[in-house]
């Protein structure tokens, strides 16, 4: 039977439950172990496998490149994933229309749509139909990474205010352009800036 790369990464974290582990340690172990178990095959992109497990909430992201496994937490959080039956129900209830931007599969037959937790799992959101919504892949991506974009937006707002105070037209124009891009794409609309 062929050993799964995913299972190998999982096993390593499970053996080291409760310990914060940085990428290189896991990568070194799984590449060597995979090679040994398969008589020389190469483990493709172990970094990606780790990131994926964190996305699936199997691992806790401690800091950049550092992850930890905790059995109770992993189990509790996995209970809050929507089942495929629930996903189907939410799609049937809301149709293939993005709850954020209104993108409709009717007009974009090749677009991908996701089921999203309205209240995120990390904030205690449950896997119940009422907490599910349909998002297009763009809105889903932005929501997942909203922390990064909101940090960026706040930074440019600060810079914008500073430039206003110092009457620095060049920086002012630069920030204005950037902030308009946020607006144009409806990203982090809840963070306001004074034009
Ligand atoms: Zn959308």
- How much is the average pLDDT of 36-60? 87
Residue 14 domain-assigned?
yes
Has residue 26 got a pLDDT over 90? Answer: yes
Query: What pLDDT score was predicted for residue 93?
Result: 92
User: What's the 34 CA to ligand 1 centre distance in angstroms?
Assistant: 40
User: What's the 45 CA to ligand 1 centre distance in angstroms?
Assistant: 30
> Please, which residues have CB within 8 angstroms of residue 88's CB and are 6 or more apart in sequence?
none
Q: How far apart are CA 20 and CA 114, in angstroms?
A: 31
**In this structure, are 14 and 69 located in the same domain?**
yes
Domain end residue (candidates: 58, 77, 96)? 77
DSSP 60-128: EEEETTEEE--HHHHHHHHTTSPPHHHHHHHHHHH-SB-TTT--BTTT-TT--EEEEESS-GGGT--SS
Q: How far apart are CA 173 and CA 195, in angstroms?
A: 11
**In this structure, are 152 and 174 located in the same domain?**
yes
User: What's the 47 CA to ligand 1 centre distance in angstroms?
Assistant: 29
pTM of the prediction? 0.51
User: Tens of pLDDT along 66-121?
Assistant: 999 998 887 777 778 899 999 999 999 999 999 999 999 999 999 999 999 988 77
- How much is the average pLDDT of 156-176? 95
Instruction: Identify the three-state secondary structure at position 132.
Output: strand
Residue 191 domain-assigned?
no
Has residue 56 got a pLDDT over 90? Answer: no
Residue 190 domain-assigned?
no
Residue 178 domain-assigned?
yes
Domain that holds residue 136: 80-144
Residue 99 domain-assigned?
yes
Query: What pLDDT score was predicted for residue 1?
Result: 59
Has residue 36 got a pLDDT over 70? Answer: yes
User: What's the 63 CA to ligand 1 centre distance in angstroms?
Assistant: 29
Overall domain count for the chain = 3
Q: Where are the alpha helices (DSSP H) in 16-70?
A: 23-37, 46-55
Q: Identify residues whose C-beta is under 5 A from ligand 1, the ion.
A: 98, 100-101, 103, 136, 139
> Please, which residues have CB within 8 angstroms of residue 19's CB and are 6 or more apart in sequence?
68
**In this structure, are 16 and 68 located in the same domain?**
yes
């Amino acid at each position: 039977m062929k050993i799964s790369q995913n299972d190998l990464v999982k096993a390593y974290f499970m053996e080291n439950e409760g310990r914060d582990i940085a990428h290189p340690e896991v990568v070194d172990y799984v590449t060597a172990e995979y090679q040994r178990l398969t008589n020389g095959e190469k483990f493709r992109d172990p970094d990606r496998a780790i990131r994926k497990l964190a996305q699936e909430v199997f691992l806790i992201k401690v800091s950049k490149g550092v992850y930890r496994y905790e059995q109770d937490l992993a189990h509790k959080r996995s209970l809050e994933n929507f089942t495929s039956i629930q996903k189907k129900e939410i799609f049937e209830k809301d149709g293939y229309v993005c709850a954020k931007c209104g993108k409709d599969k009717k007009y974009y037959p090749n677009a991908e749509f996701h089921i999203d937790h309205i209240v995120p799992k990390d904030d205690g959101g449950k896997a119940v139909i009422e907490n599910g919504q349909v998002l297009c892949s763009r809105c889903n991506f932005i929501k997942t990474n909203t922390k990064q974009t909101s940090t960026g937006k706040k930074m440019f707002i600060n810079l914008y205010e500073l430039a206003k105070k110092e009457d620095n037209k060049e920086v002012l124009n630069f920030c204005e352009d950037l902030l308009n891009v946020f607006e144009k794409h409806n990203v982090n609309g809840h963070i306001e800036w004074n034009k």
